[in-house]
Structure 1
Amino acid sequence: MKWLTALLLVLLCMLQYRLWFGKHSIPDYVAMEKEVQDLRKQNANLKQRNELLQADINDLKIGLEAIEERARNELGLIKRGETFYRILPSEQ
């Protein structure tokens, strides 16, 4: 009976050691959960970015207004007959 108790106690200690310090232990699980949460946040940000890019692509495919807007904002282009005014901020 004494040997059986000692054997079961040693077995319990081995299992507890493996649970807390071994491969695939509880700390490993917690670290993986945190990594999964971080990756989910990153994926949500990338998904939002992809949706914005897809909306830009659809705008560019549909009409010339989006192309004209991009040309004005990014390249500084103006139409014929328009007057371009540049407003500089004050030096204060």
Structure 2
Amino acid sequence: MRTLTLILLALLATLQYHLWQGKNGLAEYHEAAANVERQLVDNERLAERNALLYREIKDLNQGLAAVEELARNDLGMIKPGETFYRILLPPDKPAQ
């Protein structure tokens, strides 16, 4: 009876070791769960960015307002008959 108890205790200790520290144990499970959570957050952020890009593409394809805005900002486009005023602020004076 004593030998059977020792064998069962050794088996239990071995199984516990494999559960906590062995390959595919709880430590790896928690690490994988954290990786999945981090990836879900990254995917959500990228999905929001993609939705913004798709809205911008749709706006560029359908309306001329976005194209005109880009041309004004990036290329300095001025329509015929418009007057362009550029206001320059004086540079900040150094503290004395």
Shorter-chain TM-score above 0.5: yes
**What is the match of residue 84 of structure 1?**
84
Superposed, 1:20-59 pairs within 5 Å as 20-59=20-59
Instruction: State how far apart, in whole Å, the 2-side matches of 1:52 and 1:89 are.
Output: 34
Q: 1:90 to 1:11 in 2, by over 3 A?
A: farther
**What is the match of residue 19 of structure 2?**
19
Q: Which runs of 5+ in 1 are unaligned?
A: none
For the residue of structure 1 that corresponds to 2:33, the secondary structure is: helix
Q: Which runs of 5+ in 2 are unaligned?
A: none
For residue 78 of structure 1, report the CA deviation from its aligned partner.
1.9
Instruction: State how far apart, in whole Å, the 1-side matches of 2:89 and 2:14 are.
Output: 72
Instruction: State how far apart, in whole Å, the 2-side matches of 1:10 and 1:77 are.
Output: 82
| 1:55-79 Cα deviation digits (max 9, x unpaired) | 0111111111111112112332221
| 1:8-50 Cα deviation digits (max 9, x unpaired) | 1011111111111111111111111111111111101100000
- What RMSD, in angstroms, separates the aligned Cα atoms of the two structures? 1.4
Moved over 4 A (4+): none
Higher helix share: 1
Instruction: State how far apart, in whole Å, the 1-side matches of 2:3 and 2:30 are.
Output: 36
Of all paired residues, the percent bearing the same amino acid is 49
Instruction: State how far apart, in whole Å, the 2-side matches of 1:69 and 1:15 are.
Output: 67
Amino acid of the residue matched to residue 56 of structure 1? E
